[in-house]
A and B are shown apart, each in its own frame.
Chain A
Amino acid sequence: MLTMIGKRLMFAIPSLIGVVIVTFLLTRALPGDPAAYFAGPAATKEAVEQIRKKLGLDKPLIEQFFRYTNDLAHGDFGSSLTTGQPVAAEIRSRLPASAELTLLGLIVSIVIAIPLGVLAATRPGSWIDHLCRITTTAGVSLPVFFTGLVLVYFFYFRLGWSPAPLGRLDVFYSAPPTVTGFYLIDTLIARDFEAFRSALSQLILPATTLAIFSLAPIARMTRASMLAVLASEFVRTARASGLSPTTVIVTYAFRNAMLPVITTLSMVFSFLLGANVLVEKVFAWPGIGSYAVEALISSDFAPVQGFVLTMAVMYVLLNLVIDILYGVIDPRVRLEG
């Protein structure tokens, strides 16, 4: 097991180096001149040059690259020009916000989608199968920001059930001391139940938005994979041997149908992080996606590079976790690893 993890991490190194090079070149190829942007509207040509020098942008590209990689090796992601803060610190404070939201969205989605998919597969053509089809089609065809705005409109603006879409906490609560960065956990650790309540109620709408969007692939994949497994011979054997339907479906069929679902989950997780950008905008969520987009708009290199790199590392880790999960679910995979 450990050798497998080690091996996998080794394989990740070349791709990380590639990511570093590509993001560096891509951000440099962006249109827009950060020096002119930060010199302000009234700047003279000399002032722009002065700022370019200050930012080190007058050096040859290759020198800039070596300086950048050297800083990276020392754990320094550089400083954002728009927010004025070190990138590493900002990512550290914003990543948990995004991760908490994405994970909760994913959990809600799994809790609904998997049973829905399984039920649809066991009763193809029934009303539950149609329900599954309708929900998933609707969910995937609505753009996330639209779902988000509609939810805000009804649950906040019309009905007043949900709190104001103002980020992670009601403005009048202060954030709990950081332990994990996840407010739901940190507030409980701090025994601040009022804040927990606020954090949870702030999470409901954005997490639902993400869940609606991600229902479709999970439910469809569960259904398809279950259908294939239910038609296979070992299930027929199990049924013929007189095992109860629950045992057949849950113990035998479902476990075998899990592999493609897990793969889909990792994909869904990655595109949820992307979809997050829009949800974060709608709910004023201080997450990592909106941070990266704002940086991109103002040609602010350091946060963009930091963001892409963080995401790359996360994908590598995520894939590793998925591979380990494969091994847990299907012993055959473990042997090959």
Chain B
Amino acid sequence: MKRRDFLKSVSGLAAGAALPAMPQVISSAYADVRSETLLIVSEGGPNNLDIHGVGTNVPGYEVSWNCYDRLISHEMKVGPGGVPYYDRDKFKGELAEEFKIDDMSVTFKLKKNAKFHDGAPVTAKDVKWSLDRAVSVGGFPTFQMSAGSLTKPEQFVVIDDYTVRVDFLKKDRLTIPDLAVIVPCIVNSELVKKNSSEKDPWGLEFTKQQTAGSGAYRVTKWTAGTEVIMERNEDWIGGPLPKIKRVIWRMVPQAGNRRALLERGDADISYELPNKDFQEMKASGKLNVVSLPFSNGIQYIGMNVTKPPFDNPKVRQAVAYALPYQKIMDAVMFGLANPMFGAPKDKPTEVAWPQPHKYNTDMEKAKALMAEAGLANGFETTISFDLNFAGVNEPLCVLVQESLAQIGIKTTINKVPGANWRTELNKKEMPLFTNVFSGWLDYPEYFFYWCYHGNNSVFNTMSYKSAEMDKLIDGARVAAATGDMATYDTDVKGFVDLAYTDIPRIPLYQPFVNVAMQKNISGYQYWFHRRLDYRAMAKG
């Protein structure tokens, strides 16, 4: 109330004497609006409202998730710390009333009363058009679809107005999960077709600016770089009607201000704060802070195995013994991460990913390995990192630099601007670097296929190639598709072991997703995409 008094006195001077009676009335009306509105503050906002668009950024995924429906979604289970967590293995219909998985296809029956935001019914032809669009537009959406062996429009068959069949190209355990990620969202085909052109047959320019889905929310106002306002879709049938009527998502670039807004109670929820802030807010207990590990995600130190002396496994092992793991956990992450190092010597390898390796900081061993490699006097190299995540990467690299100096490896730190990072990764020229990879689909073979396979995808940042590794990864993929779990288990253990003996990339920790919210906010759910799902949230 102090604030209002102050405003009254200040603006009263400028606005004249006629006003003082008005604010009370208006303000109580605002109070009602406030209780049904969720105010989110974050550093960055979307650059495109459609995940199928060219270069849609991660905040854009959050809009898509909440404003569009998919055929199926995941069930919830209780995760670490009692937080609702998506269940990797259980699916439920969202637009689909029921679905039947056969040997080489899956058939979806659509809910008959589903409507798009403009009132048009959701039919099988919308589903087909949307899935065709996802596999055809190129770039990230098409790439993500192909991860589940969904690559051709012919795979999507309309049976009748409310029945769609998806044919499998080959058996792939990831096909069904890939239909529940953000990309295969169902778009209002008639509306978008009306607004497309010859140059832009999929209407990407139209959906960039507005949402054309059937989801629980729709964007009513979007000022790029400033705010997104979303209103609840009262006719949503994908699940129970959400409790939050309106979502206001404001971009606040200053992390300190985001924290102040939370602590003053002006903002309801925020993420993307420095680890130190999260740790302090957790300790003070005024806010609810949820920290959960990234599913299938790891921050690592990578070494390019085509750049001597990193082609020598002894040198790579020496580096693995020289890294200051615990210091990084304490001074960089403030404990908000799962350690991925120092597993006990006798611990058997598990059929799981991520899991810790057995290296620990041991300078004597590192020096001995360097000597064995004939590099007792060390060498010089550069360590690179992405400036977009400088808050973590910079102190991390400084600690690594300091440690490596002790075994004679002199490193210069190379800070790569965010805009260049991807180009640099693609070139595969950096000898030593730190990076994060995390996969939406939480399967070990998925992670290894992108990061260690000899087909050398952009995520195989180490240019690592090994015939044995490829055999194990391919083996596990086939075994998973055919349900041969015994072979699957040996292959997974095999590739984890190989990755840790050859050690082209050294896992440091599994980072946490940190979200801070007011005590009266409930219903936060952890999703594989790590963004907010407003549909389950409630205030008060």
29 contacts between A and B (CB under 8 A): A32-B417, A32-B419, A37-B55, A37-B418, A39-B139, A42-B143, A43-B458, A50-B139, A82-B224, A84-B47, A84-B53, A84-B209, A84-B224, A152-B256, A152-B260, A157-B264, A160-B264, A163-B7, A166-B261, A172-B33, A193-B18, A197-B8, A197-B11, A200-B10, A200-B15, A201-B7, A286-B225, A290-B253, A297-B418
Tell me which residues from 183 to 239 in chain B have a Cβ below 8 Å from any Cβ of chain A: 208-209, 223-227
**A40 contacts B55, C-beta separation under 8 Å:** yes
Of B19-27, B477-485, B515-523, the one with at least 4 CB within 8 A of chain A: B19-27
A213 at the interface (CB under 8 A from B): no
CB distance from B408 to the nearest CB of A (A): 31
B345 at the interface (CB under 8 A from A): no
Distance, CA A82 to CA B225, complexed state (A) = 9
For the complex of A and B, the 10 pairs showing the least CB-CB separation, nearest first, are A83-B224, A38-B55, A32-B419, A197-B11, A36-B423, A164-B266, A286-B226, A161-B6, A299-B419, A40-B140
B471 at the interface (CB under 8 A from A): no
**A282 contacts B264, C-beta separation under 8 Å:** no
Distance, CA A130 to CA B297, complexed state (A) = 60
**B226 contacts A167, C-beta separation under 8 Å:** yes
Q: Mark A125-169, 1 if CB is under 8 A from B, else 0.
A: 000000000000000000000000100110011011111111100
Of B244-252, B328-336, B373-381, the one with at least 4 CB within 8 A of chain A: B244-252
Q: B29: nearest residue on chain A (CB-CB)? A: A172
B263 at the interface (CB under 8 A from A): yes
B47: chain A residues at CB < 8 Å are: 81-84
Distance, CA A156 to CA B266, complexed state (A) = 11
Q: Mark A196-220, 1 if CB is under 8 A from B, else 0.
A: 1110110010000000000000000
A311 at the interface (CB under 8 A from B): no
**B257 contacts A152, C-beta separation under 8 Å:** yes
Distance, CA A55 to CA B7, complexed state (A) = 48
**A284 contacts B15, C-beta separation under 8 Å:** no
Q: A46: nearest residue on chain B (CB-CB)? A: B138
CB distance from A164 to the nearest CB of B (A): 4
B6: chain A residues at CB < 8 Å are: 161-162, 201
B420: chain A residues at CB < 8 Å are: 31-33, 36
A71 at the interface (CB under 8 A from B): no
**B139 contacts A196, C-beta separation under 8 Å:** no
B170 at the interface (CB under 8 A from A): no
B514 at the interface (CB under 8 A from A): no
Cβ contact of A194, chosen from B23, B209, B252, cutoff 8 A: B23
B257: chain A residues at CB < 8 Å are: 152, 165, 282-284
CB distance from B385 to the nearest CB of A (A): 15
Q: A93: nearest residue on chain B (CB-CB)? A: B223
CB distance from A83 to the nearest CB of B (A): 3
Given the known interface contacts A153-B260, A163-B3, A297-B417, the answer about A193 and B143 at a Cβ–Cβ threshold of 8 Å is no
A163-B3, A166-B266 are known; give 11 further A-B pairs, CB within 8 A. A33-B419, A43-B426, A83-B224, A157-B263, A161-B6, A165-B257, A194-B23, A198-B7, A284-B252, A284-B253, A297-B417
B486 at the interface (CB under 8 A from A): no
Name, among B225, B227, B418, the residue most crowded by chain A CB atoms within 10 Å (CB to CB): B225
A196: chain B residues at CB < 8 Å are: 11, 15
A291 at the interface (CB under 8 A from B): yes
**A43 contacts B139, C-beta separation under 8 Å:** yes
Given the known interface contacts A32-B417, A167-B226, the answer about A54 and B54 at a Cβ–Cβ threshold of 8 Å is yes
Distance, CA A285 to CA B229, complexed state (A) = 17
Distance, CA A32 to CA B388, complexed state (A) = 13
B8: chain A residues at CB < 8 Å are: 197
Tell me which residues from 14 to 47 in chain B have a Cβ below 8 Å from any Cβ of chain A: 14-15, 18-19, 22-23, 26, 30, 33-34, 37, 39, 41, 47
CB distance from B286 to the nearest CB of A (A): 13
Q: Mark A34-56, 1 if CB is under 8 A from B, else 0.
A: 10111111111101101100100
**B252 contacts A166, C-beta separation under 8 Å:** yes
CB distance from B304 to the nearest CB of A (A): 18
A171 at the interface (CB under 8 A from B): yes
B100: chain A residues at CB < 8 Å are: none
Q: Is the interface of B mostly helix, strand, loop or mixed?
A: helix
**A294 contacts B55, C-beta separation under 8 Å:** no
Q: A291: nearest residue on chain B (CB-CB)? A: B225
Q: Chain A contact residues (Cβ within 8 angstroms of B): what range?
A: 35 or more
**B423 contacts A204, C-beta separation under 8 Å:** no
**B55 contacts A39, C-beta separation under 8 Å:** yes
Residues of A within 8 A of B (CB): 31-34, 36-45, 47-48, 50-51, 54, 80-85, 90, 93, 149, 152-153, 156-157, 159-167, 171-172, 193-194, 196-198, 200-201, 204, 281-284, 286, 290-291, 294, 297-299
B422 at the interface (CB under 8 A from A): yes
CB distance from A168 to the nearest CB of B (A): 9
A297: chain B residues at CB < 8 Å are: 417-419
Q: Mark B371-412, 1 if CB is under 8 A from A, else 0.
A: 000000000000000000000000000000000000000000
B23: chain A residues at CB < 8 Å are: 194, 197
Cβ contact of B422, chosen from A43, A282, A286, A291, cutoff 8 A: A43
B48 at the interface (CB under 8 A from A): yes
Name, among A38, A90, A294, A299, the residue most crowded by chain B CB atoms within 10 Å (CB to CB): A38
Name, among B26, B208, B223, B419, the residue most crowded by chain A CB atoms within 10 Å (CB to CB): B419
Name, among A31, A172, A198, the residue most crowded by chain B CB atoms within 10 Å (CB to CB): A172
Cβ contact of A43, chosen from B7, B33, B140, cutoff 8 A: B140
A172: chain B residues at CB < 8 Å are: 30, 33-34, 37
Given the known interface contacts A165-B257, A193-B19, A193-B22, the answer about A37 and B422 at a Cβ–Cβ threshold of 8 Å is yes
Distance, CA A229 to CA B223, complexed state (A) = 51
CB distance from B139 to the nearest CB of A (A): 6
Distance, CA A51 to CA B143, complexed state (A) = 15
**A281 contacts B253, C-beta separation under 8 Å:** yes
Tell me which residues from 423 to 465 in chain B have a Cβ below 8 Å from any Cβ of chain A: 423, 425-426, 458-459
Q: A145: nearest residue on chain B (CB-CB)? A: B254
Q: B9: nearest residue on chain A (CB-CB)? A: A161
CB distance from B174 to the nearest CB of A (A): 15
**B422 contacts A84, C-beta separation under 8 Å:** no
Given the known interface contacts A84-B208, A201-B7, A284-B251, the answer about A160 and B419 at a Cβ–Cβ threshold of 8 Å is no
Distance, CA A44 to CA B142, complexed state (A) = 11
Given the known interface contacts A152-B260, A197-B11, the answer about A42 and B140 at a Cβ–Cβ threshold of 8 Å is yes
A153: chain B residues at CB < 8 Å are: 260
Tell me which residues from 272 to 304 in chain B have a Cβ below 8 Å from any Cβ of chain A: none
B347 at the interface (CB under 8 A from A): no
Given the known interface contacts A32-B419, A42-B140, the answer about A84 and B48 at a Cβ–Cβ threshold of 8 Å is yes
**A164 contacts B458, C-beta separation under 8 Å:** no
Name, among B37, B257, B417, the residue most crowded by chain A CB atoms within 10 Å (CB to CB): B257
Distance, CA A83 to CA B56, complexed state (A) = 10
Distance, CA A42 to CA B461, complexed state (A) = 12
**A282 contacts B26, C-beta separation under 8 Å:** no
Distance, CA A222 to CA B55, complexed state (A) = 52
Q: B12: nearest residue on chain A (CB-CB)? A: A197
Distance, CA A200 to CA B22, complexed state (A) = 17
Q: B256: nearest residue on chain A (CB-CB)? A: A149
Distance, CA A47 to CA B257, complexed state (A) = 38
Distance, CA A157 to CA B23, complexed state (A) = 23
